[in-house]
Amino acid sequence: MAKLIVLIAGVALIGFIIWWFFGNHAVDSEAASVEGNQQTVAVTVKGGYSPEVIELKRGVPATLNFTRLDSSSCLDHVVFPDFGVNQELPQNQTESIAIDTSKPGEYAWACGMDMFHGKLIVK
Amino acid sequence: MSITKRFWTALVLSVPMLINMVLMPLHIEVPGSKWIQFGLTTVIMIVAAGPFIQSAWASAKKHHSNMDTLVAIGTATAYIYSIYAMLTNQPVYFESAAFVITFVLLGQVFEERMRSNASGAVAKLVDLQAKDAEVLRGGKVVRVPLDQVVQGDLIRVRPGQKVAVDGEIVDGSSTIDESMVTGESMPVTKHAGDKVIGATINNTGTFTFRAEKVGSDTMLAQIVELVKKAQTSHAPIQKLTDKVADVFVPIVLIIALATFLVWYVALGATLAHALIFAVAVVVIACPCALGLATPTALMVGTGRSAKMGILIKNGEVLEEVNDVRTVVFDKTGTITAGKPVVTDIVGDNQVIRVAASLEASSEHPLAEAVMAKAKAMQIEAPVATDFAAISGKGVRATVEGQEAFVGSEKLLEDYLVSDALREKMAQLQDEAKTVVFVGLGGKVIGLIAIQDAPKATSKEAMAALHKRGLKTVMLTGDNERVARAIADQVGIDDVVAGVLPGAKAEHIQRLQQDGPVAFVGDGINDAPALTTADVGIAMGSGTDIAIESGGIILVKNDLRDVDRALSLSKQTFNRIKLNLFWAFIYNVLGIPVAAGVFAGIGLTLSPELAGLAMAFISLSVVTSSVLLNRARI
């Protein structure tokens, strides 16, 4: 009987894992606010990036301010392959990264080990 | 707390448990050992494992998972079960949790150190920059910091000093060590009028040069920018691992749960045993080796090639180089020196006079040869008007009221030429000379023969490529005879001659039908071909547009570097494949072993051994990448 309960609980947990990690969940996204001739977005790095998807306006100089609160060494660099940026993110410090918004398109970014991802949309 | 500090904390607190483990088979029981283990492990879980758990929780809330998820779940399971076991008087597994944390942190400490080693290339390049310069300001020489040097400044360089920025020597001469930028080991002699490169070291003489490129425009700054981009770029093979974290980790969790259920429910193992198998699965499956395999090899490979004066723009290029079957070369400036000289003139002085007036404003290398000859013969050329280019054939203009033209033999379709001149043309072409026709008043009045000798190293470069089993082809706008003569001199397999400037890309496409093609070129007109080819290799001396279009840039202008670039790219790519192979094999084989599939033949893996194996494989992947620095090319 105990084994049956364990079995049911285990299978239920497997179902939950599938739904939680593979299900279709809303992604934390944000559009940059333009002030003067400058757009800025603050990105918090904790168990991933919030926001994960950032929309920028084309042609307006943009700055992303990354603050890493997570102590995982996985997240200690942020890499923008399209811009040649590989920025170290010391914990609890805000690091600014200037983004070239002259060309519209989608630009992915990732952590130093390519395990966490985010995306910039310039339009 | 830093990773290093967390590691030491975990290690020091684990030692008593290790001693306890050694004493146990000797039947020496430390009184209250369970409580001591509980205390020590609790501290480890809070101090050393806490950050893993926090990070895992934070990402789980965002529907993400990573290696921290596995470490956290694995150790927390062992820890929490052990508390339950302790309270119900069953065997505990505190040491498993403690040892796994220690080994994972050990792996990360080494990994961090190796990663900073691997990324050192850019920092070293930036360090090459001169710190200040002696600038002529208001008639006096003043020492100013590098960032205050502006375009047009006159800068004095004494023996032993670094050249601050890119420019042209206006006075004096010296030998300069350019090895740090071009990789060329021999010092180069430079006089007034020669270009100097920032960050190179002046050996013997003193000279003054005019700053032409400063700040982010200098060659060094651009090299740094390129290397940075290459190192952060993704090789297409990596797309595989991009998905790993988000898909792999949940699957591992599911496998671990299934392992537990099979052992506990189906096979009737004790709760403790079933749990231990599940924990071992979670721990061994950490995908960090997979994540490290590509970026570390890419970093070391592109960094090393940059030191040799070979700039590889991104990971994609590395991958494509592997399949290249044919290497196509542009002739002028690539195989040859690109500095043609006039060798023969057929006709009277009027021939060179008309040619010079037509070529005066052209920047074509052949035009420069004509102008140099006219200057040497002290011939004053009249000013030509109403220029019209005849694409790929030559130019037409009005000289002293008459229609004049200069161009290749393709012009012969439009104009009449005597048989004597035709014969002379064939004879000159057989000597690998380019023949230019000069006409006045609708009639060809003479020929100018121009020769552009192959570079001394071209022959050796071709031999190296042939040894690699590659086919070499020369693509040129020159006529068949000249091209063939040059090809025979350097040992090129095939010649495609008489190609119009716009048609180079088309010919590359045709060659691509037999397999991937690499194209080596330097001119503006080579840009489409460089882009069309699977691998575009631009000569560093080439135009900015060519450099922009190429995937690999050879700073030294030495064709032998084509072979080196191919070799280095192949090695880097092979290293990536090797790394990925081992990382995968490790996970694929490790998981069933940890799950107890082979328990029947006595092959099992305890969680702490799984932790050690995981740390070891991450470390060996990074080490294998760093060893690329030592690989023979």
Domains assigned to chain B = 308-336+454-563 (3.40.50.1000), 341-451 (3.40.1110.10)
Amino acid letter for position B53: I
Per-residue pLDDT, averaged over B115-144, amounts to 77
**Residue to test with chain B: of A72, A77, A79, most B Cβ within 10 A:** A72
Interface A-B, measured as beta-carbon pairs within 8 A, has a size of: 123
- Give A57 to chain B, closest Cα distance, Å: 23
Chain A residue with the nearest C-alpha to that of B105: A73
pLDDT of residue B517: 92
- Cβ(B539)–Cβ(B523) below 8 Å: no
Distance between the two ends of chain B, CA-based, in angstroms?
A: 42
Instruction: Quickly state the pLDDT bin for B314 (edges 50, 70, 90).
Output: confident
**Residue to test with chain B: of A14, A115, A116, most B Cβ within 10 A:** A115
Taking alpha carbons only, the member of A47, A62, A57, A66 closest to residue A115 is A47
Q: Which helix (H) or strand (E) holds B329?
A: strand B326-330
Amino acid letter for position B192: A
Q: Name the active-site residue from B153, B166, B330, B452.
A: B330
Lowest mean pLDDT among B24-33, B343-352, B512-521, B615-624: B24-33
* Residue with token string 């060996």: B620
Per-residue pLDDT, averaged over A79-90, amounts to 82
Cis ω before B51 (30° cut-off from 0) = no
pLDDT of residue B177: 82
Per-residue pLDDT, averaged over B215-226, amounts to 80
What residues in B contact A117, CB-CB < 8 Å? 242
Whether the predicted pLDDT of A67 surpasses 70: yes
Our answer to whether residue B330 is catalytic in this structure is yes
Per-residue pLDDT, averaged over B277-298, amounts to 78
pLDDT of residue B235: 61
- Cβ(B562)–Cβ(B465) below 8 Å: yes
Whether the predicted pLDDT of B112 surpasses 80: no
pLDDT digits (tens, 9 = 90+) for B81-94: 889 888 888 878 88
ipTM surpasses 0.85: no
Domains assigned to chain A = 27-122 (2.60.40.420)
Q: Which of residues 59-78 of A touch B (CB under 8 A)?
A: 70-75
pLDDT digits (tens, 9 = 90+) for B253-266: 999 999 999 999 88
Amino acid letter for position B138: G
Buried b (16+ CB within 10 A) or exposed e, B573-590: bebbbebbebbbebbeeb
Going by the DSSP 8-state scheme, the letter that residue B433 receives in this structure is -
pLDDT of residue B477: 77
Whether the predicted pLDDT of B240 surpasses 60: no
CA pair distance A108, A79, nearest whole angstrom: 9
Distances (CA, A) of B148 to B131, B132, B153: 11, 9, 10
Taking alpha carbons only, the member of B234, B251, B233 closest to residue B242 is B234
- Give B285 to chain A, closest Cα distance, Å: 14
> CA-based Rg of chain A, rounded to a whole angstrom?
19
pLDDT digits (tens, 9 = 90+) for A21-59: 888 777 777 877 777 788 888 888 888 888 888 888 888
CA pair distance B232, B299, nearest whole angstrom: 8
Instruction: Quickly state the pLDDT bin for B119 (edges 50, 70, 90).
Output: low
Of A17, A48, A80, the CB nearest to B62: A48
Q: Hey, are the CB atoms on A113 and B295 less than 8 Å from each other?
A: yes
Per-residue pLDDT, averaged over A75-104, amounts to 84
| Helices B271-284, B607-626: crossing angle, 10 deg rounding | 10
Per-residue pLDDT, averaged over B56-80, amounts to 85
Per-residue pLDDT, averaged over A74-92, amounts to 82
- Give A55 to chain B, closest Cα distance, Å: 19
pLDDT of residue A101: 84
Query: Does A21 touch chain B if contact means CB atoms closer than 8 Å?
Result: yes
Per-residue pLDDT, averaged over B570-588, amounts to 87
Mean pLDDT of the residues in chain B: 83
Of the ranges A28-42, B18-32, B67-81, B377-391, the best mean pLDDT one: B67-81
Count the neighbouring beta carbons within 10 Å of the beta carbon of residue A68: 24
Taking alpha carbons only, the member of B154, B157, B120 closest to residue B139 is B154
What residues in B contact A11, CB-CB < 8 Å? 261
CA pair distance B265, B278, nearest whole angstrom: 13
pLDDT of residue B543: 65
B328: three-class secondary structure by DSSP: strand
pLDDT of residue B497: 86
Query: Does A100 touch chain B if contact means CB atoms closer than 8 Å?
Result: no
What residues in A contact B241, CB-CB < 8 Å? 114
CA angle A36, A38, A44 (to 5 degrees): 130
